[in-house]
Amino acid sequence: DVQLQASGGGLVQAGGSLRLSCTISGFEFDDYAIGWFRQAPGEQREPISCISSRDPNTFYADSVKGRFTISSDNANTAYLQMNSLEPEDTAIYYCAIKGVIIRAAAFCRSSLIDYWGKGTQVTVSS
């Protein structure tokens, strides 16, 4: 079974940083796309950042561009470095993966998710 586990969330003051990790096990596709999504209270889940094994470009939502950085160690672990955090970044953060050849931006904008991980809470205080 494919399992994803997000970790690294916590409580941080505005302007601070956190690094989220997504540990992936049981995934055996050579091609993949990995994404970070978040859901704030009362809001729909939204894509934040995606990376693809066949796309040199990464995707970032406008709200996090220049502050967040996505990376991955193949399909074993994905990371989301979050700097200059704002109270508006408070949400549950989820990682997801799909075995597919696709551009990172297209993956983030699609609903083509095969596997979701359990989320990790990020709370940014003002």
- Regarding beta strands 77-82 and 68-73, do their DSSP bridges make them parallel or antiparallel, or are they unpaired? antiparallel
Q: Could you tell me if 69 and 51 are in contact, meaning their C-beta atoms sit under 8 angstroms apart?
A: no
Give Cα 44 to chain centroid, integer Å: 15
- Regarding beta strands 3-7 and 115-116, do their DSSP bridges make them parallel or antiparallel, or are they unpaired? unpaired
Would you tell me how many other CB atoms lie within 10 Å of the CB of residue 41?
7
Q: What is the mean pLDDT of residues 8-17?
A: 98
- Regarding beta strands 115-116 and 91-98, do their DSSP bridges make them parallel or antiparallel, or are they unpaired? antiparallel
Quote the pLDDT of residue 73.
92
pLDDT, one tens digit per residue, over 67-76 is 999 999 988 9
User: Where residue 22 falls among pLDDT bands split at 50, 70, 90?
Assistant: very high
Would you tell me how many other CB atoms lie within 10 Å of the CB of residue 43?
9
Neighbouring residues of 54: CB distance < 8 A, sequence distance ≥ 6: 31, 101, 102
